[in-house]
Amino acid sequence: MAVKILDGKIMSAEIKAEITERVAALKVQGVTPGLAVILVGNDPASEIYVRNKQIGCDETGMNGRTIRLRADISQEALEAEIDRLNRDSAVHGILVQLPLPGHLDEQAVLAKILPEKDVDGFHLINAGHMMTGTEGVVACTPKGALHMIRSTGEELAGKEAVVIGRSNIVGKPMAMLLLRENCTVTICHSRTKNLKEHTRRADILVAAVGKAGFVTADMVKPGAIVIDVGINRVDGKVRGDVDFDAVKEVAGWITPVPGGVGKMTIAMLLANTLEAAERTLRHD
């Protein structure tokens, strides 16, 4: 069976087209979804991510604003800025671009964001919703990855799903979403023994490791759905965690990097912001 490419460019364009329509409908009702992105310092990779988020807002008709703060800002001043955005009714989503400079307490900063404006889905309340399967904001990258997995049209219930990586922003929520789809889920990490034995059982394999080309063809079950979350810069090029050229000869479906999960992450951020704005209307 020839491999099918799960194209994040095409899928995210479809999602953004639908978001654009819903934004227009909200505007008729007097609400323009607003996303505030806080960038502390000027890390070059963060600059790119923030610019792409702003472009996404512009494309879909949302109000995107980037708030640039000095790298030496104090914890108190940063939290005061978040408080101000929490109170601003024109702002429906607040995102603090990570990582923050070392002197700042990341968890305390994220905890300051109102859970309903936490469009990244990183607040403990939203992590709790994810854990209990109740309504909350779902983290953008796993949400986008699940959309790609669903797009295969395969029955997910009962499938063996293996997630490599257990971070709070990707691995753990990804595993939880797959569990909610009734997959049998295994989470692997740096202390996992015989990793290949686990990955070769996977009907769905998600790589969120942060090591270029980490998943090789001999680790993949023939016909598997392979989702590559990794974004690694190697010699000025962006590469995923999966050895794409080799693994595509074995897999049934595969996401490319670039043009895969990364594109979906931004689409899901816009979706979360739109949903936050729509919720304010329902609560009026």
Give catalytic residues, as residue numbers.
Answer: 53, 97, 120
- Candidates 73, 231, 242, 251: give the one binding ligand NDP (CB under 6 A): 231
Please give the Cα distance from 193 to 118 (Å, whole number): 36
* 262 interacts with ligand NDP by CB under 6 A: yes
Nearest approach, Cβ of residue 42 and ligand NDP (Å): 19
Total count of residues recorded for the chain = 284
* 3 interacts with ligand NDP by CB under 6 A: no
Residue with tokens 């270029």: 212
Comparing C-alpha atoms, which of 262, 257, 266 is closest to residue 54? 266
Please give the Cα distance from 187 to 208 (Å, whole number): 11
Largest Cα–Cα distance in the chain? 57
Q: Can you tell me whether residue 89 is helix, strand or coil?
A: coil
- Candidates 6, 36, 78, 208: give the one binding ligand NDP (CB under 6 A): 208
Structure tokens at 66: 């980037």
Residue with tokens 């810069």: 233
* 272 interacts with ligand NDP by CB under 6 A: no
Contact 208, 171 (CB under 8 A): yes
Structure tokens at 141: 């990258």
Nearest approach, Cβ of residue 172 and ligand NDP (Å): 9
Q: Which region among 53-61, 85-93, 204-212, 268-276 touches ligand NDP (by CB under 6 A)?
A: 204-212
Nearest approach, Cβ of residue 29 and ligand NDP (Å): 31
Please give the Cα distance from 76 to 89 (Å, whole number): 22
Comparing C-alpha atoms, which of 148, 121, 150 is closest to residue 135? 121
* 126 interacts with ligand NDP by CB under 6 A: no
Question: According to CB under 6 A, which residues from 138 to 157 bind ligand NDP?
Answer: 141
Residue with tokens 């639908």: 18
* 52 interacts with ligand NDP by CB under 6 A: no
Between 34 and 165, name the residue whose CB sits nearer to ligand NDP: 165
Between 188 and 250, name the residue whose CB sits nearer to ligand NDP: 188
Q: Which region among 19-27, 36-44, 202-210, 216-224 touches ligand NDP (by CB under 6 A)?
A: 202-210
Between 21 and 218, name the residue whose CB sits nearer to ligand NDP: 218
* 164 interacts with ligand NDP by CB under 6 A: yes
Please give the Cα distance from 9 to 4 (Å, whole number): 14
Identify the sign of the CA torsion 141, 147, 152, 157: positive
Looking at the DSSP bridge assignments, the partners of residue 94 are 36, 118
* 232 interacts with ligand NDP by CB under 6 A: yes
* 268 interacts with ligand NDP by CB under 6 A: no
Between 224 and 229, name the residue whose CB sits nearer to ligand NDP: 229
Q: Can you tell me whether residue 75 is helix, strand or coil?
A: helix
- Candidates 111, 195, 238, 246: give the one binding ligand NDP (CB under 6 A): 195
Between 33 and 262, name the residue whose CB sits nearer to ligand NDP: 262
Could you list the residues that contact ligand NDP (CB under 6 A)? 141, 164-167, 169-171, 188-192, 195, 208-210, 229-232, 261-262, 265
